[in-house]
Structure 1
Amino acid sequence: MAYQQIIAEVKEQIFYITINREHKLNALNKEVLSELADAIVFATNSEEVRGVLITGAGEKAFVAGADISEFQNYSLAEGKELARNGHQNVFDAIEDCPKPVVAAINGFALGGGLELAMACHIRLASDHAKLGLPEVTLGLIPGYGGTQRLTQLVGKGRAIEMITTAGMITAEKAHRIGLINEVVPQAELIAKAEEILNKIKTRAPLAIASAIKAVNASLKEDVNGFEVEIDEFANCFQTEDFKEGVAAFLEKRKAVFKGR
């Protein structure tokens, strides 16, 4: 698929996705969401990809929200379809991706932008970033998992406060309340994300995928996370990577994992 709204490239086993609508503060529209969905399918299925880095073009915004003009006249049914398709094809797909996905929040992460970051497994933010869910100022609520993932990350009280006041918070406060993993200077943001992903790249890919699946299961009411962990733990024993990891440990050398 030839992308028009995002830039996507694989370099040294890291899949870089840049939302490339700087003139619109990288706002999400249908085309961006479609391209993101396609890119995540590629990342999920590609043996070449060991990790994903998502960021926004420029220094002002990661993603400053959704493109409101596209859905201003939607009916109830159209609104439900918009949210459901976004959940399944993009946001849940990112969360369930077996490759670790890091959000490098390089500026405003508002509305759908913060929801995109929260779907990622790890979130880093530049020191000037601002985060928030302002949907109630439009007569809406977050529709791409924001009410659920924000509550999981920061707790019910803070989630309700952020959503109902529609206020923005600084990167420092977001870090303090557990919304992001780390705050770094803007110039160091991508390098920090790469540092984390480069470390992950040296670990066993199938074990990484199993760990992500098991952690995600802890948040799903209809799934017994402990049983998922038991199954995924057991599955690791039949991999070549497990044999290589144990052999390397006993031989006091670095393991060379192949994802098999």
Structure 2
Amino acid sequence: MESYVKLTIKAQVGYIEFFHPNKNAMPSDVLKKLEQTILEASKNEDIKVIVLKSSGNRTFCAGASFNELIAIEDAETGKQFFSGFANVINAMRKCPKPIVGRVQGKAVGGGVGLAAATDYCLATQFASVKLSELSIGIGPFVIEPAVSRKIGKTAMSQMTIDAETFFSADWAKEKGLYAEIFNTTEELDDEVNTLAKKLASYNPDALKEMKQVFWKGTEHWDELLTERAGISGRLVLSEFTKTILDKYR
């Protein structure tokens, strides 16, 4: 199957689903489409609430596309690639509607950033998380503000330094990344749908005002995340990172 991002509207809930055959990894074209779809849903008056989800049962999102990372040959191209994650996170935080995250499986790197950028995130017991960027010579620079905002700088630092470890869904819930975790995907979907429908019945003006309150203090993120993308874009060209990435060719 080919990668896709699609928007489905049911009962005033906009379900945004993304897919990539390589564990729902995020190449530039998928990131751009995801950003555009979030912006589209943000402006659609038929949508009161957004649910962000991925296809399949095993992995929510494997993060950056290694194939694309390997192909980066200059800092500007690197900055543009990592700006894809920055643009998606900024689209999510500026969206006037609440975004519910549905995380059915493992989240790595940028996938953790997506979960952190939702306003309320639900997951299964299989939704462990890992920030592996430091182990390949880069670092979770772009997603750090979103992750730190959700789980705190201490937990963010722990994940970043222990870069080869998956932290359990229970750990992620304890730190505040997930609001609740469920035993099965079916239970997760039932709760996501129930919550989304309930939120869609609330006053949209109140939801919009609360969304602004939730994200107060992040107004500088357009510039900040672009700056962070530049750091990752430079580091991906380092001899250390190129050597590591060569193993994935």
Q: Which amino acid aligns with 2:97?
A: K
Whether 2:181 is the aligned partner of 1:183: answer yes
Contiguous gaps of at least 5 residues in structure 1: 223-260
CA distance in 2, matches of 1:64, 1:221: 27
Q: Give the CA deviation at 1:180.
A: 1.2
* Deviations, residues 155-200 of structure 1 (Å, cap 9, x unaligned): 2222111011112111111101112111012221121111111111
1:85 CA displacement: 4.3
C-alpha separation in 1, matches of 2:114 and 2:73:
22
Match of 2:172 in 1: 174
What is the aligned residue count? 217
Q: In structure 2, what is the equivalent of residue 138 of structure 1?
A: 136
TM-score, length of structure 1 as denominator length: 0.78
Shift of 1:74: 3.6
Match for 1:209: what amino acid?
Answer: K
Tell me the amino acid that sits aligned with residue 189 of structure 1. L
2:190 partner amino acid: A
Instruction: Measure how far apart 1:154 and its partner are.
Output: 2.0
2:45 to 34, 44, 47: 47
Partner of 1:35: 33
> RCO higher in 1 or 2 (8 Å CA, sep ≥ 6)?
2
Per the alignment, residue 102 of structure 2 pairs with 104
Looking at structure 2, the residues matched to 13 and 45 of structure 1 have their Cα atoms a distance apart, in angstroms, of: 13
Equivalent-residue separation in structure 2 for 1:122 and 1:220 (angstroms): 20
| Letter of the structure 2 residue corresponding to residue 76 of structure 1 | A
Q: Give secondary structure in 1 for the equivalent of 2:6.
A: strand
Q: Is the 8 A contact 1:7 1:20 kept in 2?
A: no
* Alpha-carbon contact 2:129-2:167 (below 8 Å) kept: yes
Structure 1 contact 5–31 (Cα < 8 Å) conserved? no
Q: Separation in 1 of the partners of 2:84 and 2:183? A: 35
* Same amino acid, percent of matched pairs: 26
**1:48-106 deviations in whole A, cap 9, x for unaligned?**
00111111111101111111111223422222232334313x11101221111111001
Pick from 103, 113, 116 the counterpart of residue 115 of structure 1. Answer: 113
* AA matched with 1:164: I
SS at match of 1:141: coil
Q: Specify the alignment match of 1:78 in structure 2.
A: 77
SS in 2 for 1:8: strand
Could you list the runs of 5+ residues in structure 2 that have no partner in the other structure?
A: 222-249
The CA distance in 2 between the partners of 1:164 and 1:75, in whole Å, is 27
Question: Structure 2-normalised TM-score?
Answer: 0.81
Q: CA RMSD in A?
A: 1.9
1:152 is aligned, of 138, 143, 149, to 149
CA-to-aligned-CA distance 1:10-29 (integer Å, 9 cap, x gap): 111111111122x3111111
Contact 2:116 2:146 in 1 (8 A): yes
Question: Aligned-pair distance for 1:220?
Answer: 4.9
